[in-house]
Structure 1
Amino acid sequence: MYTICSMDKNYIIKKIPRKLLNIINNFNESDKKARDFGTDEMLHLSEIHLIEFIGDNEKLSVSEIARRKNITKAAVSKTLVRLEDKKLIIKDINPDNRTQIIISLTRKGWTAYCEHKKYHENINKIIFSCVNNNSKEDINAIYNFLDQLENLL
């Protein structure tokens, strides 16, 4: 770990962009890999995020999912076909509107949903372990840096 006391401040500041890009690239490479999330089915990022959305918002139609996720119905439908083939979702007739199809997770889909939540909890633990021993001021500085960066990007 670098400390400003032991190194020139400008030298460290110049190294921050590359360090941040390396972290982003490593995370993106890891996140791109298909995983099984406890189902023995390889799931891509778009698939597990749709499973997460369905688990958080049960019994929505394809149109409603597309509208809320701000993506096309075609993109939702295409991913749903893959998830249905993998037995992760089920399509049912809406009992309140018999012309509408609603989407729900199967037991296998709920397994993927829960394992994905655990995956995010693990990432949270890793980040927590990196900042936990820092002072409140350091944690605020890290948060403010990330907040400013997010707003600028």
Structure 2
Amino acid sequence: MKNLTKLSELFLNVITDFAEQDTAARTFGTGVKLYHSEIHMLQEIKANPELHISALARLLEITRGAAAQTIDRLVKKEMLTKQRSSENQTQVLMELTDQGEIACQNHEQLHQQHQARIVSLLENSSAAEQQFLAEFLHRFKKSFK
């Protein structure tokens, strides 16, 4: 039981360390600090350029007000432009600026680096070890729902 407690503490410490590192504001090569919610909103806008604010809020599971505030911050940081839809004047469409594109590219590279690190740590493990880890992580994730 003592080993399981130590293992649990280690796992939670790793999660905490990663979360602190992942949520820290970063410039992503632009010289402008972007927070976790901001870079992920930019990523969604890049992936779904046709979305208006309400649809973006639904996709990110945040309120329309929170989406609008984040978009306004990104416009002030010159990561995005926004304009009224020519088809529906009540809808505001967003487009990444060159700086927004750079931030997204560097954010994607960061995710690729994380993935490469994980793959390198797992590549010498057995299929049984990988299966155990996958099942454990699925059960752990499911326990939050």
Q: Please tell me the TM-score bracket, short chain as reference.
A: over 0.9
| Distance in structure 1 (CA, Å) of the matches to 2:45 and 2:54 | 13
Q: Which runs of 5+ in 1 are unaligned?
A: 1-9
Question: Once the 2 structures are TM-superposed, how far is the Cα of residue 99 of structure 1 from its aligned partner?
Answer: 3.3
Counterpart position of 2:108:
117
Q: Which residue in 2 is equivalent to 1:133? A: 124
User: Which protein has the larger Cα radius of gyration, Structure 1 or Structure 2?
Assistant: 1
RMSD: 1.3
Residue 135 of structure 2 aligns with an amino acid whose one-letter code is N
Displaced runs of 4+ in structure 1, greater than 4 A?
none
TM-fit CA distance, 1:74: 0.9
The normalised TM-score by structure 1 is 0.88
For 1:17, the aligned partner's letter is S
Which of 122, 143, 151 matches 2:142?
Answer: 151
The count of aligned residue pairs is: 144
> 2:90 corresponds to which residue?
99
Whole-angstrom distance in 1 between the partners of 2:139 and 2:92: 42
Q: Residues 50-100 of structure 1, C-alpha deviation per residue, up to 9 Å, x if partnerless?
A: 111111111321111112222111101111111001110110221222332
Counterpart selection for 2:5 from 7, 14, 25 = 14
Q: Measure the CA separation in 2 of the matches of 1:132 and 1:121.
A: 16
- TM-score norm. by structure 2 comes to 0.93
Q: Distance in 2 between matches of 1:149 and 1:61?
A: 34
Cα distance in 2 between the residues matched to 1:146 and 1:118? 24
| Residue pair 1:34, 1:42 contacting (<8 A) in 2 also | yes
Q: State the identity %.
A: 32
Unaligned runs of 5+ residues in structure 2 are none
SS at match of 1:98: coil
